[in-house]
């Protein structure tokens, strides 16, 4: 299903290494994504080259820009059908991955792919702002990741509370990331973060992408995250 040549090229561009078994696991995911999508809407992207570049190469790019030590504990916030969390987990099974989404429907699909690929992960059917208030999830992760979930000010409030001091929140954005980041400066520091690195690059075909890495430098004050309505109506400034 995946276009191996396109995937190899992307992996080479990002200067990362992925073994043959990882490609097989990613292929199982891609096959199941397109097959399941026939009866249950998981993605608007179904053509093999597009799936390879816009979903798989896009998510793998994270390894090219962020250093993820072995056995890192990561929470993928608003994972949907598993992007980027399931791609990262299947490429690097040493990662301890939690898949969080407020909508339960696609989480069953992720469980099915993990099982078919012989891997394990934690499935968390909760809204981020609710889970992040619970002690078992708050400031427990080395990294939080998110792709296509919300604009940066709200996204920081969803994600930074999960990250341990010394860890990072990694946001995967397209071209509009610049304006969002400019608006999120206040939110980042109120939540205990500091913008560490911003990488601009292109996927095959010239698609602009941005990876924003926010370091957690102090604990998030207990009043955050606020309730959903406040986060969306009054984004932190
Ligand atoms: N990250 C995936 C991707 O890149 O394909 C899914 C993106 S989809 C557009 C956004 C997902 O974020 C949805 O599955 C939605 O249920 C989830 N989501 C949005 N806000 C959320 C929140 N506050 N807590 C948990 N999940 C949330």
| Domain spans in the chain, listed from the N-terminal domain onward | 65-233
Where does the pLDDT of residue 178 fall: very low under 50, low under 70, confident under 90, or very high at 90 and above? confident
HSE (side-chain half, CA atoms, 13 Å) at 118: 4
Instruction: For the beta carbon of residue 216, count every other beta carbon within 10 angstroms.
Output: 27
CA 89 – CA 71 distance, rounded (Å):
11
Residue holding tokens 């929470």?
75
Residue 71, Ramachandran bin (φ over 0: left; ψ between -120 and 50: alpha; else beta): left
**What are the distances in angstroms from CA 106 to CA 34, 91, 158?**
13, 20, 19
Q: Which of 80, 137, 203 to mutate to test the pocket of ligand 1 (most atoms within 8 A of CB)?
A: 80
Q: Which of 43, 101, 103, 231 to mutate to test the pocket of ligand 1 (most atoms within 8 A of CB)?
A: 101
Q: Which of 29, 102, 210, 224 to mutate to test the pocket of ligand 1 (most atoms within 8 A of CB)?
A: 102
Instruction: Locate 31 and state its tokens.
Output: 């096959």
Q: What is the pLDDT of residues 24-35, one digit of tens each?
A: 999 999 999 999
Of 92-96, 104-108, 140-144, 168-172, the one with minimum mean pLDDT is 104-108
Average pLDDT over residues 190-215: 96
Distance 83 CA to ligand 1 centre (A): 9
Q: What is the pLDDT of residues 43-88, one digit of tens each?
A: 999 999 999 999 999 999 999 999 999 999 999 999 999 999 999 9
Distance 104 CA to ligand 1 centre (A): 11
Distance 120 CA to ligand 1 centre (A): 21
Measured from the Cα of 82, ligand 1's closest atom is: 2
Asked whether residue 175 carries a pLDDT value surpassing 80, the answer given is: no
Phi then psi for residue 225, to 5 deg, are -75, 150
Phi then psi for residue 85, to 5 deg, are -55, -45
Q: Where are the beta strands (DSSP E) in the chain?
A: 73-77, 96-101, 122-125, 141-147, 163-173, 193-203, 207-216
CA 209 – CA 191 distance, rounded (Å):
25
pLDDT of residue 235: 93
Q: Tell me the pTM.
A: 0.98
Pocket of ligand 1 (CB under 6 A): 78-80, 83, 100-103, 127-129, 147-150, 158
* 163 beta partners: 141
The SS3 assignment for 209 reads strand
Q: Are 231 and 223 in contact (CB under 8 A)?
A: no
Mean pLDDT of the chain: 96
Given 1.20.120.80, 3.40.50.150, 3.40.630.30, 3.40.50.720, which CATH number is that of 65-233? 3.40.50.150
Distance 79 CA to ligand 1 centre (A): 6
Where does the pLDDT of residue 177 fall: very low under 50, low under 70, confident under 90, or very high at 90 and above? confident
By alpha-carbon position, which residue is closest to atom 11 of ligand 1?
A: 78
């Amino acid at each position: 299903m995946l276009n191996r040549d396109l995937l190899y090229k992307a992996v080479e561009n990002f200067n990362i290494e992925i073994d043959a078994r990882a490609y097989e696991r990613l292929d199982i995911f891609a096959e199941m994504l397109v097959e399941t999508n026939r009866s249950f809407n998981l993605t608007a992207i179904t053509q093999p080259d597009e799936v390879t570049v816009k979903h798989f190469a896009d998510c793998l790019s994270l390894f090219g820009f962020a250093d993820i030590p072995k056995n890192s504990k990561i929470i993928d916030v608003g994972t949907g059908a598993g992007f980027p969390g399931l791609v990262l987990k299947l490429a690097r099974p040493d990662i301890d991955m939690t898949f969080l989404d407020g909508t339960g429907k696609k989480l069953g699909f992720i469980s099915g792919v993990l099982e078919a690929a012989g891997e394990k992960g934690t499935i968390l059917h909760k809204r981020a702002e609710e889970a992040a208030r619970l002690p078992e999830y708050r400031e427990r992760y080395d990294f939080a990741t998110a792709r296509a979930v919300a604009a940066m000010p709200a996204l920081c409030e969803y994600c930074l509370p999960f990250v341990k001091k010394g860890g990072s929140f990694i946001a995967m954005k397209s071209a509009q990331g610049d304006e969002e980041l400019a608006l999120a400066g206040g939110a980042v520091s109120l939540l205990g973060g500091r913008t560490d690195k911003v990488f601009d690059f292109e996927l095959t075909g010239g698609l602009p992408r941005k990876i924003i890495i926010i370091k957690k430098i102090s604990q998030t004050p207990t009043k955050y995250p606020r309730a959903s309505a406040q986060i969306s109506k009054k984004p932190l400034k």
